[in-house]
Amino acid sequence: MRSLPLPLALTARLSPVVVLAAAGWALSSGPAATPAAEDRTATQNTGGEDAPSAPATAAASKTYSAAPAPCKALSSKSIGDLVPGAKAAGKEIPSTDSNLRRTCSWNALKGFDYRWLDVSYEITASDEAAEESYKGRVADKSGGGEVPGVGDAGYSVVNLTTEDKQQTREGTVMIRASNALISVTYSGSDFESKKAPDTDEINKGAIKAAKEAVAALEDGQKG
């Protein structure tokens, strides 16, 4: 089999992944107001106990407190279908805070067909923080559409790029589930024909992976 040089964009993806610095969110809550002391008259100076202070308001609980193991989010069958030739175990990308952010990658070149799949989890401080981040990410990726029935909100977009006459089609799916964000990136190329897989194939593959990733989060991380 003749060997073909990978396009620069794909070669870069196969190089060691640069660890991205991740910033955490601070969760804060203010103290509850203390009820006023009971009124006392001069004739009631008997040394009785003051009324107890109200307890401080507890910090709002989070649905998800930690990111699940991303390399276990998808079944071996799904990995085999989406990334033929890839090891089912995948490769987890190092994170500065594995409780909040975790990503797993699978990639393989089988014959002339290349596929790459990333599944990422990010845990935020609250539903509101996740919703704000989700809206910002969706705004940055125009041209897609909603993914109904997965998490609290879902969005999918597919883009085609060409470099050195080689096409690559990449699909991105973003899901918000309570205070968690799930991101899936799925791409493919054919190095013999120089063409990319159909939009429908990439989009459905990315959505399939996203649904399994959300199910894994819900099954093992609710607290």
- Where exactly are the structural domains of the chain? 68-221
| Domain 68-221 architecture | Sandwich (2.60)
Q: What is the pTM of this model?
A: 0.73
Q: Say if residues 183 and 207 touch (Cβ distance below 8 Å).
A: no
Q: Which residue has the tokens 């992944």?
A: 17
Q: Say if residues 24 and 97 touch (Cβ distance below 8 Å).
A: yes
Radius of gyration of the CA atoms of the chain, in A: 25
pLDDT (tens, 9 = 90+) of the chain, 223 residues, equals: 444 455 544 555 544 333 333 333 333 333 333 333 344 444 444 444 444 444 433 345 579 999 999 999 999 999 999 999 999 999 999 998 988 999 999 999 999 999 999 999 999 999 999 999 999 999 999 899 999 999 999 999 999 999 999 999 999 999 999 999 999 999 999 999 999 999 999 999 999 999 999 999 998 754 4
The residues, ordered by sequence, that sit 6+ positions from 99 with a Cβ below 8 Å of its Cβ are 65, 66, 67, 123
The predicted structure's pLDDT at residue 13: 54
Give burial (CB, 10 Å; 0-12/13-18/19+) of 201.
middle
The strand order across the sheet containing 145-146 reads 91-93, 101-110, 113-123, 180-190, 166-177, 153-163, 145-146
Q: Say if residues 20 and 103 touch (Cβ distance below 8 Å).
A: no
Q: Which of 158, 162, 154 is CA-nearest to residue 201? A: 158
The predicted structure's pLDDT at residue 27: 32
CA separation for the pair 86, 65 (Å, rounded):
30
